[in-house]
């Protein structure tokens, strides 16, 4: 009977360091993964579709470029070809004066980015343009 208590006592006293070592290993793994993450910013052309109707025209500057932030593993973010990413903003449905906002839509080969756990986002992710009536402009 004494031998059973000794085995149980030995097991209980040895599982605490094992669990603690496992916990420390998970923390170290997470830190290495986190510190190996990086971001890369590239500037790509922005294709802006303006309204076809002559009722409103853009008064403010229409942006030509947008910054794209590629985040992920430091070893992979510089392998991404920025020419494979396209950015669009569609203002074709604007028919009244004022500031209009549209989200920047990104088109890229998503299967490549999902397989490598990379994320892509536009910065800024919203484009704002001031529109005025076409008759209100001075020649």
| Domain extent for 107 | 38-136
CATH number at residue 107: 2.170.120.30
Q: Are residues 28 and 73 in the same domain?
A: no
Q: What is the pTM of this model?
A: 0.65
Residues 16, 44 within the same domain: no
Query: 74 and 22 in one domain?
Result: no
Find out whether 48 and 62 touch, Cβ atoms under 8 Å: yes
Q: Quick one: 16 and 56 in the same domain?
A: no
My answer on whether 21 and 69 are in the same domain is: no
pLDDT of residue 139: 41
Give me the pLDDT at residue 1, please: 47
pLDDT tens sequence for the chain (139 residues): 455 567 667 666 677 777 888 888 998 887 777 776 788 899 999 999 988 877 888 888 889 999 999 888 877 888 888 888 999 999 988 888 899 999 999 998 877 666 677 888 998 899 999 999 877 554 4
Whole-angstrom distance, CA of residue 112 vs CA of residue 70: 13
What pLDDT sits at residue 60?
87
Which pLDDT score, from 0 to 100, does residue 7 have?
66
Q: Within this chain, do residues 128 and 74 fall inside the same structural domain, yes or no?
A: yes
137: left (phi over 0), alpha (psi -120 to 50) or beta: beta
Tell me: do 53 and 89 sit in the same domain.
Answer: yes
Q: Are residues 55 and 102 in the same domain?
A: yes
Domain count, the chain: 2
Residues 58 and 96 in one domain: yes
Q: How far is the C-alpha of 50 from the C-alpha of 94, rounded, in Å?
A: 8
């Amino acid at each position: 009977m004494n031998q059973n208590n000794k085995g149980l006592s030995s097991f209980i006293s040895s599982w605490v360091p094992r669990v603690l070592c496992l916990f420390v290993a998970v923390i170290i793994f997470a830190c290495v993964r986190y510190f190996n993450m990086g971001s890369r910013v590239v500037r790509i052309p922005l294709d802006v579709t303006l309204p076809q109707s002559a009722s409103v025209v853009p008064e403010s500057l229409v942006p030509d470029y947008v910054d794209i932030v590629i985040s992920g593993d430091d070893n992979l973010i510089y392998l991404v070809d920025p020419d494979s990413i396209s950015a669009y903003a569609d203002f074709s449905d604007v028919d009244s004066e004022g500031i209009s906002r549209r989200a920047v839509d990104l088109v890229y080969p998503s299967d490549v980015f999902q397989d490598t756990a990379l994320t892509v986002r536009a910065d800024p992710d919203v484009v704002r343009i001031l529109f005025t009536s076409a008759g209100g402009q001075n020649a």
